[in-house]
Chains A and B, each alone.
Chain A
Amino acid sequence: KNEVEQSPQNLTAQEGEFITINCSYSVGISALHWLQQHPGGGIVSLFMLSSGKKKHGRLIATINIQEKHSSLHITASHPRDSAVYICAVSGNTDKLIFGTGTRLQVFP
Chain B
Amino acid sequence: AAGVIQSPRHLIKEKRETATLKCYPIPRHDTVYWYQQGPGQDPQFLISFYEKMQSDKGSIPDRFSAQQFSDYHSELNMSSLELGDSALYFCASSLGRMIEVGNTIYFGEGSWLTVV
Contact = CB atoms under 8 A, between A and B. Distances in A.
Interface of A: 30-31, 33, 35, 41-45, 48, 50, 86, 90-96, 98-101
Given A41-B110, A42-B109, A44-B107, 4 more contacts: A31-B102, A42-B108, A92-B99, A94-B45
B42 A41 contact: no
Interface residues of B, number: 28
Contacts of A33: 105
Contacts of A48: 102, 104-105
A30 B99 contact: yes
B29 interface: no
A43 B107 contact: yes
B88 A41 contact: yes
A45 B107 contact: yes
Nearest to A42: B109
A94 B33 contact: yes
16 contacts: A30-B98, A35-B107, A42-B107, A43-B90, A43-B110, A44-B107, A45-B107, A94-B33, A94-B97, A94-B98, A95-B56, A96-B43, A96-B105, A98-B43, A99-B42, A101-B42
B88 A96 contact: no
A41 B109 contact: yes
A42 B110 CA distance: 6
Interface string B82-116: 00000010101000011101101111111010000
B112 A41 contact: yes
A30 B109 CA distance: 25
A35 B107 CA distance: 10
B98 A90 contact: yes
Nearest to A90: B98
Contacts of B56: 93-95
Contacts of A45: 104-107
- By Cβ-Cβ distance, the 5 closest A-B pairs, closest first, are A94-B56, A94-B48, A43-B107, A95-B45, A98-B42
